[in-house]
Structure 1
Amino acid sequence: MKRLSIALFAVAALGGAHAALVTKTVSYRQGDTELKGYLAYDDSVTNGSKAPGILVFPEWWGLNDFTKGRAEALAKLGYVAFAADMYGDGQITTDPAKAKELMTSVAGKPIMAERVQAAFDQLVKTGLVDESKLASIGFCFGGACSQVLAYSGAPLKGIVSFHGALVPASPDAAKKNKAKFLILQGALDPLVPEEARAAFIKSLNDGKFDYQFLSYSGAVHAFMNPDADKARAAGLAGVGYNPQVAARAWAQMQLFFKEIFG
Structure 2
Amino acid sequence: MTQFQAIHCEHEGTKLEGLVAWPAGAKETDTPLPTVMVMHSANGLRHQVRGTIEKLAALGYLAIATDMYGPEVQNGAPEASHQAYGDMHARPGIVRSRALAWLDAVRAHPGVDPARLAAIGYCFGGHCVLELARAGADLQAVVSYHGTLQTHAPAEAGVPKCEVVAYCGAQDPFAPMADIDALRQEMIDAGARYQITVFGEAAHSFTDPDAAVMGMEGIRYDRMAHQMSWAGTLTLLDLLLGH
**Same fold by TM-score, threshold 0.5 exceeded?**
yes
- Out of 172, 185, 188, the residue aligned to residue 189 of structure 1 is 172
Question: Could you tell me the TM-score, scaled by structure 1's length?
Answer: 0.84
* 1:213 and 2:193 aligned: no
Q: Does 1:241 align with 2:221?
A: yes
Q: 1:90 to 1:187 in 2, by over 3 A?
A: farther
* Contact kept? 2:7, 2:19, Cα under 8 Å: yes
Letter in 1 for 2:147: G
Rounded to whole Å, the distance in 1 between the matches of 2:27 and 2:7 is 17
Give the Cα separation in 1 of the matches to 2:62 and 2:102.
13
Secondary structure, counterpart of 2:84 in structure 1:
helix
Of 154, 158, 177, the residue aligned with 2:137 is 154
**RMSD between aligned residues:** 1.9
Say if 1:55 and 1:119, in contact at 8 Å, map to a contact too. Answer: no
Q: Which amino acid aligns with 1:105?
A: D
Contact 1:62–1:90 (8 Å) recurs in 2: no
Contact 2:68 2:98 in 1 (8 A): yes
TM-score, reference length from structure 2: 0.90
1:63–1:90 Cα contact (<8 Å) kept: no
What is the CA-CA distance between 1:118 and the residue it aligns to?
A: 2.1
| Identity fraction in percent | 29
2:232 alignment counterpart: 252
Is 1:47 matched with 2:19?
Answer: no
Superposition pairs of residues 86-105 of structure 1, within 5 angstroms: 86-89=68-71, 91-92=73-74, 93-95=77-79, 99-105=81-87
In structure 2, give the amino acid aligned to 1:217. Answer: G
Q: Distance in 2 between matches of 1:59 and 1:90?
A: 17
Equivalent of 2:207 in 207, 215, 224:
224
- Give the whole-Å Cα distance in 2 for the aligned partners of 1:31 and 1:75: 30
Give the Å deviation of 1:28.
Answer: 2.5
Larger radius of gyration: 1
TM-fit CA distance, 1:138: 0.4
Deviation at 1:171, TM superposition (A): 4.8
Q: How many residues align?
A: 237
- Contact persistence 1:223–1:246 (CA under 8 A): yes
Superposed counterparts of 1:81-160, under 5 Å: 81-89=63-71, 91-92=73-74, 93-95=77-79, 99-107=81-89, 108-160=91-143
1:58 is matched with which residue: 27, 35, 40?
40
Point out where structure 1 has 5 or more consecutive residues left out of the alignment: 1-19
Q: Is the contact between residue 41 and residue 47 of structure 2 (CA under 8 Å) also seen in structure 1?
A: no
Contact 2:119 2:142 in 1 (8 A): yes
Secondary structure of the residue aligned to 1:176 is: coil
2:154 alignment partner AA: S
| Alignment partner, residue 154 of structure 2 | 170
Aligned partners of 1:52 and 1:133 also within 8 Å: yes
Task: Report 1:25-40 matches (<5 A).
Answer: 25-40=6-21
AA aligned opposite 1:170: P
Amino acid at match of 1:53: T
